[in-house]
Chain A
Amino acid sequence: MTERSSLMIGCAAGFSGDRTDAALPVVRELIARGQASVLIFETLAERTLALAQLARRGNPDLGYEPLLDELLTPVLALCLAHRIRIVSNFGAANPLGAARRIRALAKELGLRRPRIAVVHGDDVSGLQHRALLERSLGRAMPCEPLVSANAYIGAAPIAEALVAGADIVVCGRVADPSLVLGPALAHFGWRPDDWTRLARATMAGHLLECGAQVCGGYFADPGYKDVAGLASLGYPIAEIDDSGDCTISKPEGSGGRIDERTVKEQLLYELHDPAAYLTPDVVADITTARVRQIGPDRVRLEGVSGHPRPPTLKVNACFETGWFAEGEISYAGARAVARARLAAQVLQERLADAGPLRVDLIGVTSVLGDDSSRWLDGPLDEGVRDVRLRVALQQRDRAQAERLVREVTALYCCGPAGGGGVRTAIRPRLGMVSCLVPRDAVSVGHAMVDELRQETQP
């Protein structure tokens, strides 16, 4: 019996807004290694989809990853020429729109027409799903207008699209590790209930899903955790074998580092119970896992266990919850802290009826306090000679939120002495709630873009 050769999966983005020059070195490395390869881009954080829905409302052709062109242009020709398939959630709120844009991009670049598949089923914001949401959210269902509701769907439709011959698979909300498990399922042909292998490839996906975070990105702490070449970080490649275990590496000559420490930090990232990492595909258990350096910038993850997938899917729903306003002003020199504190008191008095005001003194405490700003009542380091007062509040009503902007600006003439550098911002606020829905309430699948087009032309 012949075992299928390893599958190489490179990851060239870990969030929307990641470096757009990451993909080319990964693709060149995949070509040099000469094995079956897939390139993924992970571009959807919890809130990204709601922002994409808002963009689509403004223009029905938009709502996919805004940097789509920048991400794909450097590598599309190479990927098509070398049969490196591309799998991504960069479809966001409009996977079909993204697919059409990619087809147009390929034409502009003079390339052959790619076979593009679109994964559907994650979007449950439509009226036909409203009763399901209300049932599942119960009393958590907000009364504000709904912006987005998406189920975290799994790897199966990605695998089916690849088996059907797609060069590029465009998804909206799929669970991040499913971007890796889907290609692994298609390549190895594992049974959908082979929980051990599914869990192992899922954790390979978990290591890749934040891009450079497994290769020395978000790791450096000078003198304690030094990382060379942060400005030219290599993005990760997982070499997955038929057991599901994987080896993490990065492009030859790239910056960053991969060792047991970088891999352990990423393995535990955004994890809760390590014995039960829930995904739509499998429940992974890393309490049995081993992490082992097997060469320079090469680390192996082995021994992850798996249990049957949950009967439910997670849904995130975003709502328009009002307006967020913030303002800042700096005080420097003698008694800077006392003057900033006085300015804060003035704002608290002027905005007393506009809801709780968060106060930070950047230079003393900018992020470790909480929204109650209780820490301000305690002793402060009055010796700090350069501080920036920051205030923030949230309001349903835009006019109320705008009062903060005006009051911070008015400190120029009405506040303590020597305040300078006022900056203010106001933006719409999105609230998010989560729930679980029965798996069979969400119907998922894929479609090739060309076939879709024919369907819409009677």
Chain B
Amino acid sequence: MNTSQQTVPLYRLAHSRTGDKGNRSNISVIAWHPALWDLLVEQVTEAAVARHFAARQPSAVRRYLLPQLHAMNFVLDDVLDGGVNDSLNLDSHGKALSFLMLDLPVAVPDALRTHLVGGP
């Protein structure tokens, strides 16, 4: 079957918040609409997120699924340069990382386009 699709940033499918504990960051990805959930599970994978955060060199990326909430939780190890007490970063908590996550590209089939938020 040949369906057309477009690639959009994750922020059109989901919202996100970052938390930190030590040198570990957790980043939630929460679907704007339940209809987008399967697509997120399929494309916003541990491998895709590890690639997207390659510049921060995570030693591990784990994904936890919460289908009842249409939400997933990513845990990225060793991405905070030691964490809030050791990092030289202005954002030593890594608070801004949720918006790095939200730039991850997702290919969306036409049938789901009506559920996208914002954009053209």
Q: A residues engaging B (CB < 8 A)?
A: 46-47, 218-219, 221, 223-225, 261, 264-275, 286-291, 318, 321, 324, 326, 358, 360, 366-371, 374-375, 390, 392-394, 429-432, 434
Contact = CB atoms under 8 A, between A and B. Distances in A.
B15 A221 contact: yes
B86 A431 contact: yes
A324 B87 CA distance: 10
A166 B37 CA distance: 48
Given A224-B118, A287-B66, A358-B88, A268 B17 contact: yes
Given A47-B85, A261-B30, A360-B90, A288 B68 contact: yes
B88 A393 contact: yes
A265 B15 contact: yes
A264 B57 CA distance: 28
Contacts of A371: 81-82, 87-89
Interface residues of B, number: 37
A430 B86 CA distance: 8
B100 interface: yes
A274 B73 contact: yes
Nearest to A324: B88
B28 A291 contact: no
Contacts of A271: 19, 26, 73
A14 B80 CA distance: 22
Given A264-B28, A393-B88, A431-B86, A370 B55 contact: yes
A369 B44 CA distance: 22
Contact of A261 (B15, B24, B75, B90): B15
Given A47-B84, A221-B15, A368 B100 contact: yes
A276 to B, nearest CB: 10
Contact of B69 (A291, A375, A393): A291
Given A271-B19, A390-B90, A290 B68 contact: yes
Interface string B107-120: 00000000001100
Contacts of A268: 17, 19, 26, 28, 30, 66, 71, 73
Given A224-B15, A225-B15, A289-B68, 10 more contacts: A264-B28, A266-B17, A269-B28, A271-B73, A272-B75, A274-B66, A360-B90, A371-B81, A390-B90, A393-B88
Contacts of A360: 90
Contacts of A430: 85
B88 A264 contact: no
Interface in B60-76: 64, 66, 68-69, 71, 73, 75
A122 B84 CA distance: 22
Interface string B80-104: 0111111111110000100010000
Nearest to A328: B90
Given A269-B17, A375-B55, A390-B90, A368 B26 contact: no
A323 B25 CA distance: 25
Interface of B: 11, 15-17, 19-22, 24, 26, 28, 30, 55-57, 64, 66, 68-69, 71, 73, 75, 81-91, 96, 100, 117-118
Contacts of B118: 223-224
14 contacts: A47-B85, A264-B30, A265-B16, A265-B30, A268-B19, A270-B19, A275-B64, A291-B69, A368-B96, A369-B55, A370-B57, A430-B85, A431-B86, A432-B85
B87 to A, nearest CB: 6
A318 B85 contact: yes
Given A265-B17, A367-B96, A370-B56, A274 B64 contact: yes
A371 B117 CA distance: 35
A287 B83 CA distance: 27
Nearest to A357: B88
Contacts of B100: 368
Given A225-B15, A358-B88, A367-B91, A272 B24 contact: yes
Please give me the 9 A-B residue pairs with the lowest Cβ-Cβ distance, nearest first. A270-B19, A367-B91, A358-B88, A268-B28, A392-B88, A371-B81, A265-B17, A432-B85, A269-B19
A358 B89 contact: yes
Contact of A265 (B28, B68, B89, B96): B28
A275 B20 CA distance: 18
B73 A218 contact: no
A321 to B, nearest CB: 8
Contacts of A393: 88
B29 to A, nearest CB: 9
Contacts of B56: 370
A392 B71 CA distance: 37
Contacts of A394: 86, 88
